[in-house]
Structure 1
Amino acid sequence: MKRTSLLIGMLLAATLAFAADAPSPLQMNQKDPSKAPKIYVIPMGLDGNGQIGSDIRLSIYEKVAKDVKEKKPDLIIFQMESADGKTGKTYLGNDDRSEKGRIDFEDARKMVDLLKLDLSDIAQVMWVKDSVGFSTVIAMAWPDLYMTTNARLWGMSRVMEFVRHPDPEVVRKFLAAFTGIANGFLRRGGYPPELGLAMMRPEKTLSVSWSGRNLMWRDDTKGTFLVDGDELVVANFDAKTAEDLGLCDGIADSVEDLMFLLGYREWDDSLCKNNKDGTKIVGDYILEWRKAFAKSTESFAEYEKYSADPKKMNSAKQALERVRDAMKKYPAVEFRWKTERGVSMDVVEKLLLELKEKSKSGSGGGGGGLGGR
């Protein structure tokens, strides 16, 4: 009897040990499951800079995707850090309006297509350090979503900014169109439309019921658990609530924590440690475009100063050309000019044309700046 009990104990211990050492399901899908997976981190926002439309846009991730294909990792960790200028604990107001993002849905769709489809042969997870505003639309395009303890999934109500119009009929059409576009991203992550609408439209309510382990989302208040019963606010989620409701698969405050949650017991992080993953590419890009933007504001100030003096038309032209060149090199620079001062590449080209005409006619003065544009 004792031998039998001892044998059973040994078998149980061996089974548990085997389970603990068993590779992650993601690892089993690798070309070589016996190999420790090589990980590659792709930041979406970094070190507090995560503006949708500038820091996070298709153009930089085309470069990242090319690098991924060259490095051939086994696992991609998308690291979302985009607070929409908000550092406070409430959504009212905006802490830094200059960092408030603005989504180009077509650019965002192409970016998600590039990262999900072109790199579909590599396992991927979305790890949210923070997501407020339009970044939440992008983050939820991934089904395997994890969050840090203090992360947020907030602010999809900003989609409603596209709906504003004096004509109620136009509002109705815009409402259906833009909420449908945004929900298209969530569908790619496996999230139901009821959830997306409640996160975008204040008048929508949201509750959930359980069928075994499966969540059933409802666009009413009759579910087992009431998520949002207030018709004046949208549904926003902190990490704990998101985990409880199955929106995220777990909470991890470090890459090590994340890897353990994914079932990995060993991994190859040499790309990360040697600064050869997406962190350097994205980090360098953010520093470069922001530096170019700062210089462009200085150049525009020079243009405004010189354009008032007929003798300095050439200096004004050169200053404005530097602004145009920065916009051409970094679409993020034009994005920032458009969101902050309403100045696009077309506006700059028009100002250059006006300078050219003034130079030909020999006139000048009183024409610099953006007044009335």
Structure 2
Amino acid sequence: MKTEQKKRRWLGSGLLRGAVASLVIGAAVLTGVPVVSQQASAAVMLSTPDQIILRDGRVINGEILEETDTQIKMRISVAGIRTEMTYNKSEVLSVKRGEGAGQAQQAQDRRPDRVDARRADRGADAARVYVAEFKGHFGRDMAATPMREALEDAARQRADVLVITLDLRSYFAFIQEQRREQGQDEGHFSEMQMTDDILQLLRVDMQQIFDTPPRVVFWVKQALGGSCFLPLTSREIYFHPSGRMGGVGNLDLLFGGMDEVVRQKLISANIEIAKGIAIAGGYPPEIIEAMAMRRQVWSYRLEGGRPVFRQGWPDAGRGEILLTDDGRGENADTIEQIVRGEGNDTLTMTADLALTLGISRGTVRTLEDLLLELGVGRNFTRVDDRAERIVAGWSRDLVNAERRLRQLFREFQEIQVQGDYNERTRARGRQIRTLEEIQRLVRRFDGSINPFLGVPPVEEIQRIIERIRLEQMADRR
């Protein structure tokens, strides 16, 4: 028999800070990805290139493929890599057409051509490739701080291609399971706040961090929990053969205990914001509901090789296939299925399914295979010497910080405010210094510290400090 015990909670309030407009702006940064078809790869760059001048002062040379009222699509060459970029008209100051400019044409195939990939030019213009691999628990081993540090390092190294490798499980799901086993309230852990902070980096802050934003590629080994939204900010997602992506789950069970009308509005708002992420990245928005809503049944069929989604049980006569069931009774996933990412109460995509649904561009076992798919071939230079130290250093520092916090709590509890006035004053000074050190650690690792430590919020710590200061002011010799 299956069990209902494995409910997940999704705290989506953090996502509400990001307006849909910012999603689209951020997508314009990250969607500078190759859209190379056999027809496009045979094209020759103009002898006198087209040119656009952006409002931030950048000058972009290449071939204008398509111009609409809102966007300009160009084929450019970055470090010997032919790629296509899309710019919003609002970012463009002026447009200059080169000699021999023909009619713009729209690329028809998203997948890079394997033959051209293996014929990548060799020479001084080797692509500068930066690989940042995040593994462990999302919300703990991957957080906004190490992501920002990795992006800033990639910018210093003038990376042309940024490969973000994800091998992450949900730390917050793990904590909630522990709480349930101990009979405690699951709490509202801020996994989606953590997601929102990283999405802000990828969607918006990239423009400030990089002079020229790199081509961003996600390679998914595991992207479970809140981390599954991150790849959707890029149009280039690849999977490892054992890759899995999803496991958000149970948004429809969130916000319990409040007015049902208000609860449904909050759920709807979170879903719409999450859908905006998918749409801005060029992915079907139905994927969001399938990944997040436990009580919904989703099916799909293929028409012309493209998935068509429908909410409801599959109709075999129409060739429909079940994506997710209702998670009720015997349909409820077992704990073992949840841990392995094999359940279907909510959608967790495998490499094959992600390819079928149009989320993944391909399945690659090694980094070398991925670079071939990207058209880089062997003509690249790795510039990510510090990446592993940044990521591993964060995890190591977090463990040390938790150890130090335990020590500081013990020291604070052992401080006795007694004796004469001078002794009481010194004791309160030690209390304040101890609490201020706790504050510094909580600020640096906010959201990643194990909640079982019982660390109070920074604001509460500050109130305790102020209370101690008032007690000192009221004390008399």
Q: TM-score normalised by the shorter chain: which range applies?
A: 0.7 to 0.9
Q: 1:160 to 1:345 in 2, by over 3 A?
A: farther
**Contact (CA 8 Å) 1:289, 1:333: kept in 2 or not?**
no
**Contact (CA 8 Å) 2:412, 2:431: kept in 1 or not?**
yes
For residue 467 of structure 2, give the secondary structure of its aligned residue in structure 1. Answer: helix
What is the percentage of aligned positions where both structures have the same residue?
16
Match of residue 250 from structure 1:
362
Identify the match of residue 102 of structure 1 among 166, 186, 191: 191
The letter for the 2-side match of 1:151 is: G
Note the C-alpha offset of 1:229: 4.7
The question of 1:84 aligning with 2:170 is answered yes
Aligned length: 328
The letter for the 2-side match of 1:51 is: F
Q: Which moved more, 1:256-265 or 1:191-200?
A: 256-265
The question of 1:202 aligning with 2:307 is answered no
Match of residue 264 from structure 2:
172
Match of residue 344 from structure 1:
457
Identify the match of residue 41 of structure 1 among 131, 150, 159: 131
For residue 149 of structure 1, give the secondary structure of its aligned residue in structure 2. Answer: strand
Structure number with greater CO (CA < 8 Å, separation at least 6) is: 2
**Contact (CA 8 Å) 2:143, 2:448: kept in 1 or not?**
no
Note the C-alpha offset of 1:271: 1.8
Please list the CA deviations of residues 89-145 of structure 1 after superposition, one character each: whole Å capped at 9, or x if unmatched: xxx9469999x8612164243122146655574212101121111111222222211
For residue 215 of structure 1, give the secondary structure of its aligned residue in structure 2. Answer: strand
Match of residue 304 from structure 2:
212
The letter for the 2-side match of 1:209 is: R
* Structure 1 gaps, min length 5: 1-18, 364-373
Please list the CA deviations of residues 18-77 of structure 1 after superposition, one character each: whole Å capped at 9, or x if unmatched: x9xx99xxx97424344332210123x33x2x332x543434433333322221122110
Task: Name the one with the larger helix percent.
Answer: 1
Note the C-alpha offset of 1:337: 6.5
Match of residue 279 from structure 1:
388
The letter for the 2-side match of 1:257 is: D
Please report the RMSD computed on the Cα atoms of aligned residues, expressed in angstroms: 3.6
Note the C-alpha offset of 1:353: 1.8
Question: 2: distance between equivalents of 1:166 and 1:74?
Answer: 49
Match of residue 78 from structure 2:
30
Match of residue 243 from structure 2:
151
TM-score by length of 1: 0.75
The letter for the 2-side match of 1:298 is: Q
Q: 1:161 to 1:314 in 2, by over 3 A?
A: farther
Question: 1: distance between equivalents of 2:456 and 2:172?
Answer: 25
Please list the CA deviations of residues 178-209 of structure 1 after superposition, one character each: whole Å capped at 9, or x if unmatched: 11122222223222221211111122222222
The letter for the 2-side match of 1:247 is: I
Task: Name the one with the larger strand percent.
Answer: 2
Match of residue 65 from structure 1:
151
Question: 2: distance between equivalents of 1:67 and 1:287?
Answer: 19
**Contact (CA 8 Å) 1:337, 1:343: kept in 2 or not?**
no
* Structure 2 gaps, min length 5: 1-37, 43-74, 82-120, 328-344
Identify the match of residue 415 of structure 2 among 283, 306, 312: 306
**Contact (CA 8 Å) 1:65, 1:114: kept in 2 or not?**
no
Q: 1:199 to 1:81 in 2, by over 3 A?
A: same
Please list the CA deviations of residues 248-305 of structure 1 after superposition, one character each: whole Å capped at 9, or x if unmatched: 2222232122223334321324324xx24x3333332332244223312321221122
**Contact (CA 8 Å) 1:133, 1:155: kept in 2 or not?**
yes
The letter for the 1-side match of 2:261 is: E
For residue 138 of structure 1, give the secondary structure of its aligned residue in structure 2. Answer: helix
Note the C-alpha offset of 1:352: 1.3
For residue 204 of structure 1, give the secondary structure of its aligned residue in structure 2. Answer: coil
Note the C-alpha offset of 1:83: 0.5
Identify the match of residue 51 of structure 1 among 126, 138, 145: 138
Identify the match of residue 431 of structure 2 among 313, 316, 329: 316
